[in-house]
Amino acid sequence: MFLIQTQLIFKMKIFKFGGASVKDAEGVKNVLHVLNTVGHEDVLLVISAMGKTTNALEVVIKNYFEKSKELNASLQEVRKYHNQILLDLFEDEDHDVFYDVNAHFDDLEYFIRSNKSPNYNFVYDQVVSIGELVSTTIVSHYFNSQGMLNHWIDVRPLIKTDNNYRDGQVDWETTQKLISKGVKKKVLNITQGFLGSDENNFTTTLGREGSDYTAAIFAYCLGAESVTIWKDVPGVLNADPRYFENAILLNQISYREAIELAFYGASVIHPKTLQPLQKKEIPLYVKSFVNPTLPGTSVSKGADLEPKTSCFIVKKNQLLLSLSSIDFDFIMENHISEIFGLFSKYKIKVNLIQNTAISFSVCIEDKYNTFEELRKVLAKKFKVSYNENVSLYTIRHFDENAAKVVETNKTILLRQISRETMQVITKE
C-alpha cells in the first residue's frame, strides 16, 4: 500500500541501466559517455547484473541443488566473465576493485559451502544477488577512476520487503524512511536493481526484471523529477520488431495505457514499475543508450498514445486449456472459483479467459512446469483438452488492417474482442 503524498525531499533523476548496457567493458564506458552527455548531478543510477549473469547464476543454483560436479566450474565461469571486464577496464591489477569484486565472490562461495536451508527460493535470492553487487562495484570504481566521483549504495538495507523470496513485497513506510536517509544529495549515487532484504536482513529479490521497479521505488520515495530507463532501442515501439515489420516509435503513452500494455505482456516496461510513478505523476522516459540525445518515449499524464496507432503484443509458448463438464452440466461460479484456486496453487499464469455454458477456456503460461500435475487433478472433475505451443496475440486499439496482420496465414483457435482490445490465439 502506497503512502500519502509527502513533501518532496529534493528533485533527483533516476536512471536505470539494464544488463545489456553493461555486458562488457565497452558498455561500461558507454554508460559513462551517456552521463557525460546528459548530465549526472543529482542522479541516482540503478544498474542490473552484467549481460546474462543472472542466467549463469541460475545454472550455479541448479548445480548446487543437484549436487553436480559442475558446480565449481559454473561458478568460476561467472568469476572469469567479470574478471575479463575488470582487466579491460583497469590497467593496474592492484586496483581496489579487484579486491572488492573478489570479496563478493568469496561471500558467495562461503554461502554455498555453509548454507543448510533446502528452500530453493531463499537460496536463489542469496546467490543471484551477487550479479548486481558485482556490476555496481565495477561501474562505481571505473567512474571514480575516470574522475566521475560517486556514492556506492548497497540497496538491500534500504528496500525492505517481506520474506517472500523471489517476489518480495515492499514495506513502503520503512523503505521510504531508509531511502530518505541513505541517498546523498548533489552527488552521483550508484545502486543495484532487483534487490531488497527482509526483517532478518536476508537478501530478497523483487521478481525477474525487477530493476525497473527498483528505479520506481527510489523515484517514489525521493519524489524524483523523472525516471529514465536506458535501453538498446529508441524508445517504446508499437510492436516487437522480431515479429512485426515496420514497428513505430511511440512518442507519448499515458500511465493508464502503459499499464494496459504491461498487463497484456509488453516487455519494455515492468508491470509493477508504473503504479508508484503514477501515484506521484513522475514521468518515465524510455531512451536509447546508443543515441542518448534522442527524445525517446515519455510515459506520463497526457494523451493515451501519440501517435494514435494499433499496438501489437505477442506471447509465445502458451497453452490453450479447455475444460468442460463430464456430464454436460453448466460451468458455474463455484466451478470457476475452484479452477482458479488450482491455478493459484500450481502457479499458473492466466492470460485470457473465455467461457460458455458448458465449457471454460483459458490461455495459460506454465512457467514453473506444473501443468502436467495440474492436468491430472482437473481430469478428476472435468473433461480436459489442450493445445500446446500456441501464440497469444493482443492488439490494443485494433482495426481491420491490424487484425489481418495477426491472422493472415495462421490457424485461429480462439478470438476475443472488447471495445479497445482484440486477442487471438493461433497455431502457426
- pLDDT for res 263: 86
Per the CB < 8 A criterion, the answer to whether 387 and 361 are in contact is no
Q: What is the pLDDT of residue 7?
A: 46
Section 95-112 average pLDDT: 98
What is the per-residue pLDDT for 355?
Answer: 85
Q: Is the pLDDT of residue 231 over 60?
A: yes
Compute and round to an integer the Cα radius of gyration of the chain. Answer: 23
DSSP string, 314-342: EEEEEEEEEEEETTS----HHHHHHHHHH
* Extended beta strands in 193-225, E state: 195-197, 203-205
SS3 content of the chain, % helix, strand, coil (to 5): 40, 25, 35
Q: How far apart are CA 92 and CA 23, in angstroms?
A: 21
Q: Which residue has the cell 470457476?
A: 336
Residues 6 or more apart whose CB falls under 8 angstroms from that of 272 comprise 206, 207, 210, 213, 216
Reported as a single tens digit per residue, the pLDDT across 170-185 is 999 999 999 999 999 8
The residue type found at 288 is: S
Amino acid 124: pLDDT: 98
**pLDDT exceeds cutoff 50 at 111:** yes
Q: Is the dihedral of CA 372, 373, 376, 379 positive or negative?
A: negative
Calpha distance 392→73 (Å, rounded): 39
Question: What is the residue type of 290?
Answer: V
More confident call, 105 vs 233:
105
User: Which has the closest alpha carbon to 223: 1, 4, 7?
Assistant: 7
User: CA 201, CA 183: separation in Å to the nearest integer?
Assistant: 19
Q: How far apart are CA 24 and CA 85, in angstroms?
A: 6
Q: Classify residue 210 by its DSSP letter.
A: T
Mean pLDDT to the nearest integer, 361-386: 94
* 403-407, long-range: CB < 8 A, 24+ apart: 405/244, 405/312, 406/312
**29-87: pLDDT as tens digits:** 999 999 999 999 999 999 999 999 999 999 999 999 999 999 999 999 999 999 999 99
Q: Is the pLDDT of residue 330 over 90?
A: no
Lowest average pLDDT, out of 74-88, 200-214, 325-339, goes to 325-339
Grid cell in block for residue 356 = 460458455
pLDDT at 1 over 70: no
Question: Is residue 220 within a helix (H) or strand (E), and if so which, with residue range?
Answer: helix 211-222
Whether residue 10 is predicted with pLDDT greater than 60 in this model: the reply is no
Q: Which of 48, 146, 57 is nearest to 95 (CA)?
A: 146
- Residue 349, all three cell numbers: 499464469
User: Structure pTM?
Assistant: 0.89
In angstroms, the CA 392 to CA 264 distance is 10
Average pLDDT of the segment spanning 350-369: 90
Q: What is the mean pLDDT of the chain?
A: 93
% the chain with pLDDT above 70: 97
Q: State the pLDDT confidence band at 328, using cuts at 50, 70 and 90.
A: low
Question: What pLDDT sits at residue 2?
Answer: 56
For 245-286, the pLDDT digits (tens) are 999 999 999 999 998 998 898 876 877 899 999 999 999 999
User: Looking at the predicted structure, is the pLDDT value of residue 6 above 80?
Assistant: no
Neighbours of 386 (CB within 10 A): 16
State CA 31 to chain mean position distance: 20
Q: What is the pLDDT of residue 275?
A: 92
- Would you place residue 168 in the very low, low, confident or very high pLDDT band (cuts 50, 70, 90)? very high
Instruction: Quote the pLDDT of residue 334.
Output: 79
For residue 307, whether the previous peptide bond is cis, meaning omega lies within 30 degrees of 0, is yes
Give the pLDDT of residue 194. 97
State the Cα–Cα distance between residues 370 and 201, nearest whole angstrom.
31
pLDDT band, residue 364 (cuts 50/70/90) = very high
Q: Are 137 and 101 in contact (CB under 8 A)?
A: yes
